[in-house]
Amino acid sequence: MASRRPVLLITGGSGFVGGQVVRKALEEGYDVRVTARSEDSARAITSRFPQYSSQLSSVIVPDLTRVESYRNALEGVTGVVHTASPFILDPADNVKDLLDPAIKGSIAILEAIKRWGPSVTRVVATSSFAAVVDDTNSKREGYTYTERDWNMATYEQAAASADGPYAYRASKALAEKAMFDWVKEKKPSFSLTTICPPWIYGPYAHELKRTDNLTASVYLLSKLVDAEDVPSFDFGGYADSREVAAAHLLALDAPEAGNRRFIVGQEFRYQTAVDLARDSMPELRDRLPVGKPGYVEPGYSLDGSKAAEILGLTYMSLGETVKDTLGQVLRSGHIAAKA
């Protein structure tokens, strides 16, 4: 008998964020179809969730910038979560490595849904707080960012920049704007919601067998261990991978979330993270820099309250996030245990 569960298409299921979205969707009872670039990648994803084999399938999308790639992916699909996008802070070529896959990839999936996904009612895309932040004003002391703020970097600036993180941030802003512009112009039968998290920490959905490809945010947090000093302010916010996944799924169903963006995140300072980890992880206490305990470096803040009010998201504590992130990376052997 055919399944009656709603079918969710998830792109980027091999990644850190996508994996948590897949896990949460399976737990919530969806039939999940993941896109992967290769058969190997598809197998790796499905092997992570053996208990859900009857709910999880995959489809190969070799090039996410080509509309035709999705021709066979959308049958019976009622909702789409698009997380696939390069999270690369040191691109060799800003256009090929970042801007093309981020922007063209975002539009290609919308076009494909319009053509082949008549039952899709909501698309939720992973944008970033990078698309919100003012890139000309790095610390912006005293300012609180909301969903009304946009990173105003242009395509030309991003393409020409020698600053990889700047080009990445621009790729997210340009892709998100392009998606909303497309929806405004084409008026499809589905609505779009974007999720804008800052640094995402928290665990992967699966235990880590290899750590050479840790996503940049988790990698940077793991570098606190054995660091000489506490890093200074860079991106003043964080979210937990589990709450980011929850936000994507809540956004699929929340009637008022259509054609809106949501900051999902809370204020972050490295010093606070170090203080919490030193208190809660005795195994790492002597390996974390002390810095100035209790000090909150001046810088901007961010308002993630709309995600709580409109999506119904419950935020976790930074202590839990830091402990679970470092704990998983420690178990993986990426941070060598001290004898």
Please list the active-site residues: 172
Residues 231-251: b if buried by 16+ CB within 10 A, e if exposed: bebebbbbbbbbbbbbbbbbb
User: Are the C-beta atoms of 37 and 12 separated by less than 8 Å?
Assistant: no
Q: Which stretch binds ligand NAP (CB under 6 A): 12-20, 47-55, 279-287, 321-329?
A: 12-20
**Nearest approach, Cβ of 285 to ligand NAP (angstroms)?**
26
Count residues near ligand NAP (CB under 6 A): 23
Q: Could you say which residues in the range 41-80 bind ligand NAP, by CB under 6 A?
A: 41, 64
Q: Which stretch binds ligand NAP (CB under 6 A): 9-17, 224-232, 267-275, 315-323?
A: 9-17
Q: Which residues are 7's β-sheet partners?
A: 31, 77
Residue 37 binds ligand NAP, judged by CB under 6 A: yes
Torsion of CA 14, 117, 111, 46, to 10 degrees: 10
Q: Could you say which residues in the range 110-129 bind ligand NAP, by CB under 6 A?
A: 126, 128
Q: Determine whether 261 is exposed, middle or buried from the number of CB atoms within 10 Å of its CB (0-12, 13-18, 19+).
A: buried
Torsion of CA 25, 240, 310, 13, to 10 degrees: -30
Residue 14 binds ligand NAP, judged by CB under 6 A: yes
**Nearest approach, Cβ of 282 to ligand NAP (angstroms)?**
27
**Nearest approach, Cβ of 249 to ligand NAP (angstroms)?**
15
Residue 6 binds ligand NAP, judged by CB under 6 A: no
Residue 262 binds ligand NAP, judged by CB under 6 A: no
**Please, where are the H alpha helices in the chain?**
16-27, 39-47, 105-116, 155-160, 164-186, 216-222, 241-253, 270-280, 305-306, 318-332
Determine which residue in the list 9, 56, 153, 200 makes contact with ligand NAP, applying CB under 6 A: 200
> Binding residues for ligand NAP, per CB under 6 A?
12, 14-18, 37, 41, 64, 83-87, 101, 126, 128, 172, 197, 199-200, 215, 217
